[in-house]
A and B are shown apart, each in its own frame.
Chain A
Amino acid sequence: MSEERGQAPSMSLPDALAGLHRPSGTPDTLYERSKDFSKAAAQLDDICGDFVKLLLRVPGPWTGTSQSEFTQVMTGKPGNYRDIAAGYRKAGLTLKAYASALEHAQQAWDSSRQLADADWHRQIGHGIATPPDPFSPDRIRARRQVEVALAKLRAAAAHTRSVLSSLEFTMGKRPPVKPEIDRGRVAAAFQAWDEVWGMAKHDAKDIWDLHRLFVRSQAKDAWKQKWEDFYSDKTGACSDPAGYIKENTYDAANGDEFLAGNDARWLAGLAYNAVGPRKYLDLLKPSRKPDEETKDKSKSDEEKKKERDVCHPLG
């Protein structure tokens, strides 16, 4: 609606809701998100309960040092589930409250819009010659209703942010924000690599095979490009790749680099941790073609023979 409504300047009436905007957002989706969090919290609580019961059954016929050590290590683990569930529950309730405030604000805006429009039609729309009243009760009520709802929404948003920040605070410093480029694709790749990491983190060979597979794959995607950037940086610009990587290696398990979107560094750290500095330095060297490899192999065999002859002339 335009700011000025009316047929003649003398009959003009400014918009009752001028300067106020309908809040954007989708409360339904937020409600769904809240339900998801609550559902996850309930499931995690169930798992926590069953985990505690399972730990009570651990001793049984299993006795000895290993059993007591296992039980000791596992004792605090159900608490993690309980904490995560509590976090999800808290976040779910907060999001629900915010969604309710957002829904209310949008409804308040819609009903106020109708009220203000009806007032405009009553005063000017029918061409009645009486001077319009900019402070009519309906106009004031409409504006007041929206102002109150928007103030409540701002308060709810601030509260939600504070609750979510406090939950995040328990996880330590937030990593730097990654750029928005290829966000959806990278998110999917995060998920995939998360799985890979989970599967292979205890097996250096597996992780390295996957790593090599990834590096050699022909797919030109954001991940490969990032790896190539990293790779060229290390091999070209850096005189001491192993030292550089060691300096920049972090605990891959904490996932900060992973979350920050520094995928290449994350992968490098993973590989470095998996195979160790010496092996990693070897693997950083450009891979050779099969022909060259065989040539080199034959050469090296001949050289070895010569060396053996020299070393063992009698043999």
Chain B
Amino acid sequence: MLSYKEDPDHLTHLANEFRSLSRRTEKARHAAIGPSDFGRGNAHDPALNEQIDWFYRRWVMLVEREKQYMLQSAENLERARETYKLVDQGVRKSAEVHESRRQGADL
């Protein structure tokens, strides 16, 4: 149930926090990728090289998924904030109309 008592700005703040975490996750992903983009077979054993390669690729993708999740959460919060704002405006408008009608009736 939506309520005009809820503070939409709080949701904006939360969305910004989630966006910030998403950016930091992206930085962590870049840190994990390292300076070289590919060809990280530097072990003496080809099988080990392959294993390192797979680890690298799959775990970077895990970080990417978390980043996307954060970003998606931020977007959802912003959408929720818009909804709350509209409802808030609607509730205020209704209250104003109601008040003016009441005043008209009093007169």
B44-82 contact mask (Cβ, 8 Å, vs A): 1 or 0: 110110011011011101111111110111010000100
**A43, A51, A91, A191: the one within 8 Å of B55 (CB):** A91
A47-81 contact mask (Cβ, 8 Å, vs B): 1 or 0: 10011001001101111111000000010010011
Complex Cα gap A207–B1 (Å): 33
A2-30 contact mask (Cβ, 8 Å, vs B): 1 or 0: 00000000000000000000011111011
Q: A25, B21: Cβ atoms under 8 Å?
A: no
**B24, B38, B54, B65: the one within 8 Å of A47 (CB):** B24
Complex Cα gap A183–B53 (Å): 12
Chain A neighbourhood of B39, CB < 8 A:
184
- For chain A, the bracket of interface size reads 35 or more
Complex Cα gap A25–B33 (Å): 19
Interface SS of chain A: helix, strand, loop or mixed?
helix
Binds B, one of A31-39, A209-217, A296-304: A31-39
A182-215 contact mask (Cβ, 8 Å, vs B): 1 or 0: 0110011001001000100110000000000000
A interface residue numbers (CB < 8 A to B): 23-27, 29-30, 32-33, 36-37, 39-40, 43-44, 46-47, 50-51, 54, 57-58, 60-66, 74, 77, 80-81, 84, 87-88, 91, 95, 98, 102, 105, 153, 157, 160-161, 164-165, 167-168, 171, 174, 183-184, 187-188, 191, 194, 198, 201-202, 253, 255, 259
10 contacts between A and B (CB under 8 A): A24-B44, A27-B42, A29-B40, A29-B42, A54-B17, A58-B14, A65-B1, A98-B48, A174-B54, A194-B64
Give 6 nearest A-B pairs by CB, closest first. Answer: A40-B32, A61-B7, A43-B28, A36-B34, A23-B44, A25-B44
